[in-house]
């Protein structure tokens, strides 16, 4: 590498001066301006950008909440209500933050599912996918600790149930729990360390997101056909094409977000969290936030505590090895006539688990949870590896540009007639 | 109506978001008790606002009946100004309570009449005192009660009007009262609203039990979500703005993509 100034293409003298010494403008231009992007994205490709925006919203609102929040067991609940009542627009910040967590998970779940359907985890994007799983785990930890902060009944009892899970591990279990609690029960030290970590983790997420995007810009984006772009006829520059398309998705996202915040701010929350935490009164049903319900169902589907905990963690850890479990040479499910249905069924199993997680662990719900758990793992560990070898994929189009020009490649009819993409 | 409108709205959102959230909406925290009767409240719906006269009457019910047992520690007297009471009225209400303050310059604690900035005075010094006075039962703080129960306003309204004699064969615990809508049907709260004319409304409204229950729920709902009107107003503006912005964004996107064969 030669020493000296970067050869900047910018004309504006000030930008040029900076860019020659620190080429951040060139970088932005390369990564978000002229970056060649497959031209056949559908709206599922909006969700990465949405997740990024969501993270920024969480950090921005969180910082303002933290200015008024008091992490002490005797004051936390009242301080949150004080934010709602006496801080200027405090209710707005709090409701955006609380519903923002739900929106974040909605967005990220769709983002992950998109990756599964279009095979975005496959070579060469394995590491990109794995970094994504790390982000998801960090998000879960952040959201879990955030939910403890308002110190309502569900905060307290959710924290108690979830931290207690670690005691299932032999030998080290109890020490882990003591460490999480900072004592011998969920109490003030727990609240303090959770607040500290809840403030820290989003910035860690930010760093990992940076790695995620950096890795993406090495491999380039996947696309609904799952085939690599063959040349300039297959791509468009990110700006203005995808900045424009992302803007459409962003507005729709904001409409959903605003509807929740302004018209149904407590719809996705549990009323019990408006009852101040009380260690002496156990709520009848301890349920986590909706986005954790599938894992909660898996946990309770297993009669053995340690087994349940392992399976619960395993249900996400298995995503790490997904790139190697899937043995099919084809990425997009559009060309996998059998696997497509099995994946759909997996989605239904996930939904079933979410449903059962919110129900008491008895009768039919346990049976359903067990069947769904079994299928959840069977899809990853049995169906995907085996099916990849047996299934005969449909013929792939020659290139991205080809099937798009009407009458091109041997594309199944359904793949072309997505009205949304026609725009 | 309001609930179903909300659910529909949320479902719409859920649909836009994929099937992920739908089950969570169906999540139930089953009250073992009866299904709630449905009352229409003025604050319901996307454009619902606070019925100020009902809420003011409701405050009177709270002050004269409920506040003997229930605190509302998150509210301050000054909040009553937002309910439409005049400055003089609110100052007079605040002045009826005695507040411990201090220390003063001599280091002494002293008593003084309440001010606008004081929080609502609690009937008991602490939970133990409340239990000691009420047969061991603890009346919950009512500041956010309508947010703290499933279908809060409907539930509280039903609870207040849901007392009756226990069905034959049911044995009641000592000091317990039968209530159709309380989970488990045995509640320690004696029926707080029992007879017509228990409070005397200044505006001449007939104080039936039903009316008092209705009014106090209007008050409690306002107390739980004092930001509601501002929130909905802002929401309407945001959604209108976003819909227009969405149209523009979509038109722009079409224009930009018009020359790309795809
Ligand atoms: C990954 C991003 C984040 C997620 C997923 C998240 C999630 C949550 C959740 C679920 C709650 C409980 C909401 C409630 O019911 O009240 C919460 C509360 C809170 N969060 Fe965050 N948060 C994030 C980022 C941040 C950041 C960056 C800060 C501070 C700089 C912050 C500060 C707070 C505070 C002070 C509360 C307590 C106030 C309240 O309960 O509303 N959060 N968070």
Q: Tens-digit pLDDT profile for chain B (262 aa)? A: 334 444 444 444 443 443 333 333 333 334 455 789 999 999 999 999 999 999 999 999 999 999 999 999 999 999 999 999 999 999 999 999 999 999 999 999 999 999 999 999 999 999 999 999 998 999 999 999 999 999 999 999 999 999 999 999 899 988 899 999 999 999 999 999 999 999 999 999 999 999 999 999 999 999 999 999 999 999 999 999 999 999 999 999 999 999 887 6
Quick one: what percent of chain A has pLDDT higher than 90? 90
Choose among B21, B46, B147: nearest Cβ to A106.
Answer: B21
Interface of A with B in 87-146 (CB under 8 A): 91-92, 95, 102, 105-106, 109-110, 113
What does residue B132 show for φ and ψ, rounded to 5 degrees? -60, -35
Task: For residue A135, give both structure tokens.
Answer: 């982000």
Burial call A345-366: b when 16+ CB within 10 Å, e when fewer = ebbebbbbbbbbbbbeeeeebb
pLDDT of B33? 58
Task: Please tell me if residue A416 touches chain B, with a CB cutoff of 8 Å.
Answer: no
Ligand 1 pocket, A101 CB below 6 A? yes
Q: For A236, which DSSP code?
A: E
Cα A97 to ligand 1 centroid, rounded to whole Å: 6
Q: In a 3-state reduction of DSSP, which class is residue A237?
A: strand
State residue B259's pLDDT score: 87
Instruction: Provide the token pair at A236.
Output: 């468009």
Could you say which of A261, A275, A290 has the minimum Cβ distance to residue B24?
A290
A80 → chain B, closest CA residue: B74
Q: How far apart are CA A373 and CA A99, in angstroms?
A: 28
Give residue B253 CA to ligand 1 midpoint distance, Å: 34
Q: Please give the structure tokens belonging to residue A149.
A: 């902060």
A98 Cβ inside 6 Å of ligand 1: yes
How buried is A34 (Cβ within 10 angstroms: 0-12 exposed, 13-18 middle, 19+ buried)? exposed
Residue A217 among the catalytic residues: yes
HSE value, Cβ hemisphere, 13 Å, CA-based, for B77:
22
> In this prediction, does ipTM exceed 0.95?
no
Chain B residues lying within 8 Å of A255, measured CB to CB: 239, 242-243, 246
Q: Which tokens hold the place of A37?
A: 């992007």
Number of H helices, E strands in chain A: 18, 2
Q: How far is CA B254 from CA A101, A204, A244, in A?
A: 32, 37, 9
Domain segments of chain B as ranges: 31-75+119-235
Q: Which range, of A150-159, A314-323, A359-368, B25-34, averages the lowest pLDDT?
A: B25-34
Residue A332: Cβ within 10 Å count? 22
**According to the model, what pLDDT value does residue A32 have?**
86
Q: Please give the backbone phi and psi of residue A329, each rounded to the nearest 5 degrees, phi first.
A: -75, -10
Kindly give the distance from the C-alpha atom of residue A198 to the centroid of ligand 1, in angstroms, as a whole number. Answer: 7
b (16+ CB within 10 A) / e for A235-271: bbbbbbbbbbbbbbbbbbbbbbbbbbbbbbbbbbbbb
B169: left (phi over 0), alpha (psi -120 to 50) or beta: left
Closest CA to A417 of A82, A58, A93, A42: A42
Q: Is the peptide bond before B103 cis (omega within 30 degrees of 0)?
A: yes
- Say how many Å lie between the CA of residue A263 and the centre of ligand 1: 20
Which member of B148, B239, B254 has the closest CB to residue A259?
Answer: B239
Confidence bin at A151 (pLDDT 50/70/90): very high
Q: How many residues would you count in chain A?
A: 423
- From CA A165, how far away is CA A144, in angstroms rounded? 14
* Cβ atoms < 10 Å from Cβ of A311: 19
What six digits make up the tokens of A378? 């069977």
Report which ligand 1 atom has the smallest distance to the Cα of A149.
Answer: 37
Greatest pairwise CA separation for chain B in angstroms: 85
Looking at domain B31-75+119-235, its CATH class is mainly alpha
Strand partners, B119: B76
Confidence of residue A415 (pLDDT cuts 50, 70, 90): very low
pLDDT tens column, A239-296: 999 999 999 999 999 999 999 999 999 999 999 999 999 999 999 899 999 999 999 9
- Of B14, B258, B246, B262, give the one whose Cα is nearest residue A223: B262
- Cβ of A51 below 6 Å from ligand 1: no
Nearest-atom index, ligand 1, CA of A148: 12
How far separated are the first and last CA of chain B, in Å rounded? 45
Q: How far apart are CA A14 and CA A201, in angstroms?
A: 36
B31: left (phi over 0), alpha (psi -120 to 50) or beta: beta
Beta bridge pairs of residue B100: B111
Query: A346 near A375, Cβ under 8 Å?
Result: yes
DSSP state of B160: H
What is the model's pTM?
A: 0.90
- For A266, the closest chain B residue by CA position comes to B147
- For residue A362, indicate whether it is catalytic: no
A202 lines ligand 1 (CB under 6 A): yes
Whole-angstrom distance, CA of residue A368 vs CA of residue A352: 7
d(CA B167, CA B170): 6
A222: Cβ–Cβ under 8 A, 6 or more apart, which residues?
Answer: A38, A115, A118, A119, A120, A125, A331
CA distance A214 to A20: 22
CA distances from A418 to A40, A226, A290 (A): 11, 16, 31
């Amino acid at each position: 590498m030669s020493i000296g100034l970067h050869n900047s293409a910018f004309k504006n003298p000030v930008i040029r001066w900076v860019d020659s010494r620190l080429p951040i403008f060139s970088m932005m231009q390369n990564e978000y301006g002229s970056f060649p992007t497959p031209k056949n994205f559908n709206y599922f490709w909006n969700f990465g950008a949405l997740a990024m925006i969501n993270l920024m919203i969480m950090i921005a609102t969180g910082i303002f909440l933290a200015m008024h929040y008091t992490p002490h067991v005797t004051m936390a609940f009242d301080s949150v209500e004080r934010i709602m009542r006496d801080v200027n627009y405090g209710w707005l910040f709090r409701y955006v933050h609380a519903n923002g967590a739900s929106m974040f998970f909605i967005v990220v779940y769709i983002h992950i599912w998109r990756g599964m359907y279009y095979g975005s985890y496959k070579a060469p994007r394995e590491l990109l996918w794995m970094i994504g799983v790390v982000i998801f785990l960090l998000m879960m930890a952040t959201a879990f600790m955030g939910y403890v902060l308002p110190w309502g009944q569900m905060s307290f009892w959710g924290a108690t149930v979830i931290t207690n899970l670690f005691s299932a591990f032999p030998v080290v279990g109890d020490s882990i729990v003591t460490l999480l609690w900072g004592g011998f029960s969920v109490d003030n030290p727990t609240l303090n360390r959770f607040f500290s970590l809840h403030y820290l983790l989003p910035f860690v997420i930010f760093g990992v997101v940076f790695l995620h995007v950096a890795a993406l810009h090495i491999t380039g984006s996947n696309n609904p056909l799952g085939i690599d772009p063959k040349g300039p006829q297959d791509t468009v520059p990110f700006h203005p094409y995808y900045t424009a398309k992302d803007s459409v998705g962003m507005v729709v996202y904001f409409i959903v977000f605003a509807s929740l915040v302004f018209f149904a701010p407590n719809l996705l929350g549990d009323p019990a969290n408006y009852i101040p935490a009380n260690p002496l009164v156990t709520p009848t049903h301890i349920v986590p936030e909706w986005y954790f319900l599938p894992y909660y169902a898996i946990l309770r589907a297993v009669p053995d505590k340690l087994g349940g905990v392992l399976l619960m963690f395993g249900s996400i850890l298995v995503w790490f090895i997904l790139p190697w479990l899937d043995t099919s040479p084809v990425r997009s499910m559009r060309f996998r006539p059998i696997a497509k249905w099995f994946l759909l069924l997996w989605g239904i199993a996930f939904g079933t688990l979410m449903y059962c997680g919110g129900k008491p662990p008895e009768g039919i719900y346990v049976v359903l949870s067990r069947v769904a758990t079994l299928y959840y793992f069977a899809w990853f560990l049995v169906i995907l590896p085996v099916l990849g070898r047996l299934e005969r994929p449909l013929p792939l189009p020659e290139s991205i540009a080809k099937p798009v020009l009407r009458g091109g490649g041997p594309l199944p009819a359904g793949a072309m007639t997505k009205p949304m993409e026609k725009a | 109506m309001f609930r179903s409108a909300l659910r529909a709205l949320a479902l719409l959102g859920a649909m836009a978001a994929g099937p992920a959230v739908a089950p969570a909406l169906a999540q139930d925290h089953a009250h073992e008790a009866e299904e709630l009767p449905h009352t229409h409240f003025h604050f319901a719906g996307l454009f619902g606002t606070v019925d100020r006269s009902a809420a003011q009457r409701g405050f009177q019910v709270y002050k004269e009946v409920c506040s003997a047992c229930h605190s509302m520690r998150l509210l301050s007297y000054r909040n009553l100004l937002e309910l439409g009471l005049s400055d003089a009225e609110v100052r007079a209400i605040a002045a009826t309570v005695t507040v411990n303050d201090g220390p003063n310059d001599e280091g002494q604690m002293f008593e003084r009449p309440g001010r606008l900035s004081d929080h609502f005075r609690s009937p008991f010094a602490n939970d133990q005192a409340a239990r000691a006075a009420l047969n061991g039962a603890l009346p919950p703080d009512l500041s956010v009660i309508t947010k703290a129960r499933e279908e809060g306003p409907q539930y509280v309204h039903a609870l207040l009007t849901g007392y009756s004699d226990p069905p034959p064969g049911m044995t009641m615990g000592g000091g317990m009262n039968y209530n159709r809508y309380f989970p488990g049907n045995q509640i320690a709260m004696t029926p707080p609203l029992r007879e017509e004319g228990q409070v005397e409304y200044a505006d001449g409204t007939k104080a039936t039990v039903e009316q008092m229950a209705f009014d106090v729920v209007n008050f409690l709902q306002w107390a739980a979500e004092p930001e509601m009107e501002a929130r909905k107003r802002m929401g309407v503006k945001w959604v209108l703005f976003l819909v227009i912005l969405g149209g523009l964004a979509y038109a722009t996107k079409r224009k930009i993509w018009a020359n790309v064969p795809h």
